[in-house]
């Protein structure tokens, strides 16, 4: 009975459920990005990377996707005491992804590096956002 009540109370708040599952959803999207990378589909790869990051940030920070902007994300992450190096890496990754998506011929980069940086970035954000304030 106690376990059941705990389960119900943990899943009763939709915002908290989204926040808890944000990394899992991002990892699924990154699997799609990896498949696109292996098939050599750059456009789909960058679209998947941007989707993974935007969905992760939207769920984790409780900001609707329509309201996601660099300023909103940056201000929210600063309030949550995220390291400056992580913020710089996030903004750089978002900029690279958007640039590749909207000017695909102008981007010449290693997809594997972008993928690895994105995975590392989400891991860093997850660790820093889940850290208990002392």
Residue 6's CATH number? 1.20.120
Q: Stretch 103-127: mean pLDDT, rounded? A: 82
Which residue would you say has higher pLDDT here, 132 or 3? Answer: 3
Q: How far apart are CA 80 and CA 78, in angstroms?
A: 5
Domain range for 59: 2-130
> 41 exposed, middle or buried (CB, 10 Å; 0-12, 13-18, 19+)?
middle
What's the whole-model pTM score? 0.79
Kindly report the three-state secondary structure assignment for every residue of 17-43: HHHHHHHHHHHHHHHHHHHHHHHCCHH
What tens digit of pLDDT does each residue of 77-108 get? 899 888 999 999 998 888 888 887 777 665 66
Phi, psi angle pair for 132, to nearest 5°: -75, 135
- Look at residue 34 in the predicted model and tell me its pLDDT: 93
Mean pLDDT is lowest, of 53-57, 90-94, 129-133, for 129-133
Q: Count structural domains, the chain.
A: 1
Say whether 60 sits in a helix, a strand or coil.
Answer: helix
């Amino acid at each position: 009975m106690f376990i059941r009540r705990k389960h119900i109370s943990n899943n009763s708040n939709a915002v908290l459920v989204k926040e808890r599952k944000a990394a899992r959803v991002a990892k699924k999207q990154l699997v799609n990005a990896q498949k696109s990378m292996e098939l050599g589909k750059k456009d789909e790869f960058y679209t998947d990377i941007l989707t993974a990051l935007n969905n992760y940030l939207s769920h984790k920070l409780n900001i609707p996707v329509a309201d996601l902007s660099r300023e909103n994300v940056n201000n929210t992450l600063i309030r949550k005491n995220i390291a400056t190096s992580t913020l710089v890496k996030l903004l750089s990754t978002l900029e690279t992804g958007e640039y590749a998506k909207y000017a695909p011929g102008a981007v010449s980069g290693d997809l594997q590096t972008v993928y690895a940086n994105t995975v590392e970035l989400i891991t860093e954000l997850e660790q820093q956002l889940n850290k208990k304030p002392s």
